[in-house]
Amino acid sequence: MLTEIPVRDWEHCDAVPSTLSALIGVVVPGQLRKVETVFVVSDLQILGISSVKSETDEWLIASCVRCKRASPCSQHPDENTEKRLAVRLTLADGNSQCTVMLYHELLLKAAALMEVTLPEPPADSKDLRSTLRDMFRNAQWISRFTFKENDFQQSLELECRDIRSCLRLQPTVALMSPPDT
């Protein structure tokens, strides 16, 4: 089963501290090269969260229960589907910004660490969207990245392997509301 294939422990493996600018600088259009290093960037802000699809605005994608690929799955056409979270995050550090995809497990893990409760099973709703937006807005983040080769576009892409808050910010709302007496 695919889910039982041992995967690298992205959370604890060696990682090279870097900045977003340095990582973006490695991405040269039309040039693929193997970069296997794991990089870690801290003090990231998340400026935006949107659909991974350009043609529709969905934050959940129907996926094959067996292999987690987007349905319809060519390998398991009769398998059931489940909705899995998939979003595009716009990240920024002091100098640069870029977008990365963030998928189901990493999103759930980030939410659990932030003690944010998401509906189970997740459903695309205003509630879910505002919960995730607030969660990302109310913290600074530390994230681990690798480079992924995109053969189709002949370019390297940043792949997020781990994301967690490194500093929680006081929600603005709390500062604006009158003190409890």
One of 42, 45, 66, 149 touching Zn ion (CB under 5 A): 66
Compute the least distance from the CB of residue 79 to Zn ion, in Å. 6
β-bridge partners, 85: 60
β-bridge partners, 146: 159
Coil, helix or strand at residue 88:
strand
Please state the φ and ψ torsions of residue 143, each to the nearest 5 degrees. Answer: -140, 150
Run of H or E including 75 = none
Compute the least distance from the CB of residue 148 to Zn ion, in Å. 21
Verify binding: residue 35, Zn ion, rule CB under 5 A: no
Q: Which stretch binds Zn ion (CB under 5 A): 31-39, 73-81, 153-161, 165-173?
A: 73-81
Please state the φ and ψ torsions of residue 84, each to the nearest 5 degrees. Answer: -125, 140
Verify binding: residue 101, Zn ion, rule CB under 5 A: no
One of 26, 40, 62, 67 touching Zn ion (CB under 5 A): 67
Q: Which stretch binds Zn ion (CB under 5 A): 47-55, 67-75, 120-128, 131-139?
A: 67-75
Q: Using only C-alpha atoms, what is the Rg of the chain?
A: 18
